[in-house]
Amino acid sequence: MTMRKLSCLVLFSFALMSSNAEAKPGASSPAVERNVAEALDPYVTDQKLAGYVTVLMKDGRRVATNVHGYADIDTRRPMTKDTIFRIYSMTKPVTGVALMILHDQGKWKFSDPISKFLPELGNLKVYEGVDAAGNLISRPAASQPTMGQLVTHTAGFLYGFGPTPVDREYQKHVPLIPTAVETSTYLAGLAKIPLAYEPGTQWQYSIAMDLEGIIVERLSGKSLQAFMKAEIFDPLKMVDTDFIVPPSKRDRFASLYDGQSGKLMAVTTGPFADTYATTPVTASGGGGLVSTVDDYARFASMLLNGGTLNGRRILSKRATKTIMTNRLSPALINGRFGIGIQQIRPGYEYGVNGVVVTDPAKAGVAMGKGSYLWDGAAGTWFWVDPANKIVFVGMIQRLAAEGGPNVQVASQRAVAESIALGRRQ
């Protein structure tokens, strides 16, 4: 199996899982911690996970923290509340906030073509098929991708881990994770690849948020790392969130494991083997950050609070609402578009860089209507539930999600059951 195909199985694949209970107010800390432990500890005991850390915030206060297992199995280094994790695609909502900060400043509009900020992608064509020799056939796009389509994975791009001829062009011309190449090289490679579909006609998980990161740099005049630090991380006191792990923090960095073989194996080769020891050449807005549960809970709490935390406004209320409100047309919400389990289906819709739960019953999730969620390739996950004033963040470091522990469903049920118990007491 190629790394791109493995990525199809693991890359950010928990977000569309399901459960049946619905969360209600009233959780108590002991009940949540006990239920989360009962739900997730067996995965560690059975060696399906090395360990995990979770945090639940309710009504703006910490309700429960669970820490169990190892950050590194070989050295028996334990997980701690401040263990640092690769969050991969949970970078996407952060990049979305960075982009919306610039939207608040009037620097772009949803109707703008992306070529306004990425002229290298100003003449994109659309895939039509292959000729007898196997060469791609393409034609001019009816319209060029817009910023509104970019933030919703409807611009025509892919990630490159599928089986199509266009996916194979991604594998040939652009790296899955662009951290080791110059931005100019990355964009030049992408310009050689036709769009997989006419912009706005499908939802396909894609490299769009890596392009967003480049746009943030060009609009702000700062590196993505510097912009996020100044505008998001420092104001929110996200002290351990970055694109690198410095020497002073290496002893808190969790090891990464692959569960594809059925046994946890340390990842030492391939695109996920990055040690995060040096500043990336191109910061990945789609998957480059590391963080802790507490840091990310502060970020998620800011979203829950309408763009503020502890008196610091990061985003306007309008921009925060935009992020957490569906932007897809009904024609795209049918479960046919996407790849693997990365599909938009009834009950799930899509805002800016993340899923919006518009019908919990149809979606089969244990959270309220209007919840916003996403996750990462190594199993990190979060949700923001405005209806119940809940933020939940969970972190593990295990690739190959398919066939592995369904931590999202387990944690959703554990929280929902705890809250229901709290209401009865």
Model pLDDT for residues 16-57, shown as the tens digit of each residue: 333 333 333 345 588 889 999 999 999 999 999 999 999 999
∠ at Cα 96 (147, 57), nearest 5°?
Answer: 150
Sign of torsion, CA 272 48 23 291?
negative
Amino acid at 14: F
Q: What is the structure's pLDDT at 261?
A: 82
In order of their start, the domains of the chain are 17-103+223-424 (3.40.710.10), 110-219 (1.20.58)
Q: What is the pLDDT of residues 126-155, one digit of tens each?
A: 999 999 998 999 999 999 999 999 999 999
Q: What is the structure's pLDDT at 400?
A: 72
**DSSP-assigned letter for residue 242:** B
What are residue 256's phi and psi, to 5 degrees?
Answer: -105, 135
Q: Residue 390 is encoded by which pair of tokens?
A: 């809940």
Is a pLDDT exceeding 60 seen at residue 355? yes
Burial class of residue 114, CB neighbours in 10 A (0-12, 13-18, 19+): buried
Band of the pLDDT at 424, cuts 50, 70, 90?
Answer: very low
Q: What is the pLDDT of residues 80-126, one digit of tens each?
A: 999 999 999 999 999 999 999 999 999 999 999 999 999 999 999 99
Across 13-17, 119-123, 266-270, 313-317, least confident range = 13-17
**DSSP-assigned letter for residue 146:** B
What are residue 109's phi and psi, to 5 degrees?
Answer: -125, 155
- Separation CA 185–CA 284 (nearest Å): 14
- Separation CA 393–CA 415 (nearest Å): 12
Q: What is the structure's pLDDT at 364?
A: 83
Q: What is the mean pLDDT of the chain?
A: 90
Q: Residue 118 is encoded by which pair of tokens?
A: 């990425």
| CB contact at 8 A, 159 and 11 | yes
How far is the CA of 47 from the CAs of 43, 51, 78, 216, 303, in angstroms?
Answer: 6, 9, 14, 41, 34
Q: What is the pLDDT of residues 173-229, one digit of tens each?
A: 999 889 999 999 999 999 999 999 999 999 999 999 999 999 999 999 999 999 999
Q: What is the structure's pLDDT at 337?
A: 59
| CB contact at 8 A, 208 and 155 | yes
Cα separation of the two ends of the chain: 51
**The total number of residues written for the chain in this structure:** 425
| CB contact at 8 A, 408 and 17 | yes
Q: What is the mean pLDDT of residues 60-82?
A: 97
